[in-house]
Structure 1
Amino acid sequence: MTDMIYAPQRLPWRRRLPAQLALSAALCIKALPESRRMRARLALARRVRRLPPAEPGDVRELYQAVVACQPPWWRGQIDCKERALATVLATALTGRRCHLVLGARTLPAAFHAWVVASDGTQVGDEEAGGHDHPWTPVLTTP
């Protein structure tokens, strides 16, 4: 069963604005046909590879901003793939980069997406029991 994620406290506009724009883009990708979604996510995440690396604290703040600003027009659930992609895009909108990671685990069998800062700090991997049953990275964008 998936754990619910509650929105953190209200963050400053310099974090909320890129998070809202990036989350809107990630949700537009979710509206694509299922056969094209993952390719579009990876293509967007790879576009930011030439930007300088982001600080782990900035990545965590942007992730919290993405979690906090679910748009009122979106009635569905926002999955980990959309949150992770939105964090990568929000970090890119601030002129920095982080890495999108797709992973899995065997017991209990599940898939997950999270973000890694340039120094290896993982953000968003603690969802769905990430500490009890660690995730194994399968694909990391450059």
Structure 2
Amino acid sequence: MTQMIHAPLRPPWRRRLPASIAMTAALAIKILPRDNWRMRTRLTLARSVRALPAAGTDHVQDLYEAVVACQPPWWRGQIDCKERSLATVLAAALTGRRCHLVLGARTLPAAFHAWVETADGIAIGADEAGGDDHPWTPVYTTR
């Protein structure tokens, strides 16, 4: 089940600009015609930032909050965790840093989720959709 996320306060422009560009790219991928093309494109983009230096936890948390705050009003569809997580990875890359996209699942209640992980192993965005009550098990991490 998808949880509604309310946008936080407007972030400063140095975070808002890469977050807006990254969110637009993530939404452009969402409109690809076939689901396997979408996931393959997301994973390819997330893996392409491996050569960049690692981002700190505060930097990734700030970018994640900026991505959530910069969800465009012109997008009438739902913006899922996959788009928010990919946009965070891309926003970090636009600032010259990297973080990892993580895809995970749980059994009870059965669900899938995507979140971002720092190089230290700190999960950001994993607490959505009841992640505190029923923890997510990482299935795939872009390293």
**Partner of residue 23, structure 1:** 23
**Partner of residue 95, structure 2:** 94
Q: Which letter maps to 1:122?
A: A
CA RMSD, Structure 1 to Structure 2 (Å)? 0.7
Distance in 2 separating the partners of 1:45 and 1:67: 18
TM-score, length-scaled by structure 1: 0.98
Alignment gaps of 5+ in structure 1: none
Q: Which letter maps to 2:11?
A: L
Count matched residues: 142
- Note if 1:62 corresponds to 2:63: yes
Deviation at 1:72? Answer: 2.1
Give every structure 1 segment of 4 or more consecutive aligned residues whose post-TM-superposition deviation is greater than 2 Å.
Answer: none
Deviation at 1:3? Answer: 2.1
- Note if 1:48 corresponds to 2:49: yes
Identity %: 73
Deviation at 1:10? Answer: 1.1
TM-score, length-scaled by structure 2: 0.97
**Partner of residue 9, structure 2:** 9
26-35 or 104-113: which moved more?
26-35
User: SS of 1:128's equivalent?
Assistant: helix
Distance in 2 separating the partners of 1:44 and 1:10: 26
Q: Which letter maps to 1:6?
A: H
Q: Which letter maps to 1:134?
A: P
Deviation at 1:117? Answer: 0.6
Alignment gaps of 5+ in structure 2: none
**Partner of residue 124, structure 2:** 123
